[in-house]
Chains A and B, each alone.
Chain A
Amino acid sequence: MIDVTLKRILSFVVLVLVQILLLNNVKFLGFITPYLYIYFVLSLPSSVSKEMTLFWGFLLGLTIDIFCGSLGCNALATTLIAYLKPYFQSFFGPKDDYDEVKPSTATFGFEMYLQYVAYLTIIHHLVFFFVEAFTLSRFWSVLFSAFCCTLFTLLMILSLEYFKHRRR
C-alpha cells in the first residue's frame, strides 16, 4: 500500500517536472503546447475512490498552475476531468468485475483506450483554453488551438503508453 502511494507520488512529481520544465517551453508552430500531465489523472486505477481522484486532480492542476502563473485554470479543467474520469472508465473500460483496473492500452484495448483518452483530453483542453481566454469573442481561434493541442497531447500519451509496454 505504501509502495503504491509512493509510486503514485513519484509519478506525480515526475509528470509535473516534465510538464513545467520541458513541455511548457514547447511552442510548436508558435501555439501548440502538449499538456501531458493529465496522463496522471487518466491512469489512476479504479481502486482509487472518486473523492481521492478529485483531490488528486485538483492538486495536480493547482501545482501546474502555481508554476505556470495561471492560477486556477488548470485546476478547474483537471478537476473536471477527474470528476468525469470514473464514469468514462466504467464506460470504456472492461466490463468484467476486476478488483483494480489501471487504464492502459493493455487493459482497455487500443481502440477503447484511445477513445477514453481522447474524450477526456479534449474536454480538458477545451475547458482550459476557454477559461484561459475567458471570452467567446475569439471562439474559433481558441477552438482551433484547443484541437491542435489535443492532437499533440494524445500523440504524447499514446507514445508514452507504447514505450511502457515495450519495456515490459
Chain B
Amino acid sequence: MRTLILFLLKFKTLFLFLGLELISFLLIVNNNQFQRNHFLSSSNRVVGTLYNLSNGVNKYFSLDEVNESLARENEALNTEVVQLREQLAFFRQDTSYKGRRYRAAEKSYDFSTAKIIYFSTVRQKNIFTINKGLSEGVKVGMGVVSEKGVIGIISNASSHFATVMPIVSTLSKTSATVKGKTQLGQLVWKGGDIRYANLEEVPLYIPVAVGDTVVTSGYSSTFPEGYPIGKVLSFSERNDNLYDIKVELSVDFDKLSYVDVIELKGSEEKEELEKKETAKFEK
C-alpha cells in the first residue's frame, strides 16, 4: 500500500511537471510571434509537401493550356505592337490630316495565332503546315510572322489547315528594304543554311552598313511596313551596280512553334486585287 501511494505521489510530481511544462509551451506559442509562426508552419509542412506534389503533377497536365493562353496573349500584344508601330511611323512621316485618314483606313492589320504542326527545314523548297485554315479566316497570300520577324506567306489553305511558304524557300521572294531607305530590294533564299538569306537588287548608290536592319517594305500588302526580317551580315558589290547583301534572319526557324497570321483589314476591292495577283502568280 505504501509503495502504491509513493508511486502515485511520484506520478503526482510527474503530472505536475508535465502540466507546468505544457503551460510554458502554450505561453511560448501564444505569446511569441516567431515561435508561433514556426510552430504553425512546421505543422503545415506535411500538408504543404503533399499539395506541392499534386500541384507539380497538375502543372504538367495544364502545360498545353498555358501555352495556348500565352500564345493568345502574344497575338493580342502583337496586334497592339504593330498598330502602335504603324501609328508611330505614320506620325513621323505624314502630318497631313487627309493622308492620315487614308492610311489609317488602309493599313490595319489583325493577328491570329496558329501552331505549326509540320515543318520541313531540310529541303530546298521548305514548307510548313499550320493548324488554321479557311474556316478561321486564313487565306492564301496572307503573311505569316512571329514576334521576332517575318516568316513567310500562306501558299495554300484548306478548311482547317494551311501551308506556309517560308522566306527560307527557294521559291520565296519578299520585297524588303534596308531600314530607313526607300529603295526596294528582294529577299531571296538560295538554299543551304536557314539562318541566312540574301537581299538582292539594292542599287549601289545606297549606303549600306553591316548591322543595318532589314525590314519589310511598305508597298507590300502582305506584311505591315517596317516589320523586321533580319540584319545585314556582310555585303559585296556586283558588276551590275547592285549589292549582294547577306542577311542574318532574326527568326530562328529551328525553334518555331507558334506563328501569327497577319490579316489585312482592307476594302473588298483590295481583296479582289489580291485574288488577281494570286491567280497571276499561280499561272
Contacts and interface: CB of A to CB of B under 8 A. Distances in A.
Interface of A: 50-51, 54-55, 57-58, 61-62, 65, 70-73, 75-76, 79-80, 83, 131, 134-135
A72 B38 contact: no
B13 A51 contact: yes
A140 to B, nearest CB: 18
Nearest to B38: A134
A135 B37 CA distance: 11
A56 to B, nearest CB: 11
5 contacts: A72-B32, A79-B17, A79-B20, A80-B17, A134-B39
Given A51-B12, A65-B27, A70-B32, 11 more contacts: A51-B13, A61-B24, A71-B28, A71-B31, A72-B25, A73-B32, A75-B27, A76-B25, A80-B21, A131-B28, A135-B38
B76 interface: no
A79 B20 CA distance: 7
Given A71-B27, A72-B31, A79 B13 contact: no
A33 B23 CA distance: 25
Contact of A83 (B13, B26, B27): B13
A79 B25 CA distance: 11
A141 to B, nearest CB: 16
Interface in B30-89: 31-32, 34-35, 38-39
Contacts of A135: 38
B39 A79 contact: no
In order of increasing CB-CB distance, the 9 nearest A-B pairs are: A72-B28, A72-B27, A76-B24, A71-B31, A75-B24, A83-B17, A50-B13, A134-B35, A79-B20
Contacts of A71: 27-28, 31-32
Contact of A54 (B13, B27, B31): B13
Nearest to A131: B28
B209 interface: no
Contacts of B39: 134
A62 B26 CA distance: 13
B117 interface: no
A139 to B, nearest CB: 15
A90 B25 CA distance: 28
Contact of B24 (A50, A58, A134): A58
A57 B17 CA distance: 10
A61 B27 CA distance: 12
A75 B34 CA distance: 17
Contacts of A80: 17, 21
A87 B199 CA distance: 96
A29 B17 CA distance: 35
A152 to B, nearest CB: 24
Given A51-B13, A134-B39, A135-B38, A72 B24 contact: yes
With most chain B CB atoms within 10 A of its CB, the pick from A50, A51, A72, A131 is: A72
Contacts of B20: 54-55, 57-58, 75, 79
A57 B21 CA distance: 11
B26 to A, nearest CB: 7
Contacts of A50: 13
A60 to B, nearest CB: 12
B256 interface: no
B16 interface: yes
A54 B26 contact: no
Contact of A79 (B21, B26, B29, B38): B21
A51 B28 contact: no
A54 B38 contact: no
B4 to A, nearest CB: 18
A10 to B, nearest CB: 24
A74 B246 CA distance: 79
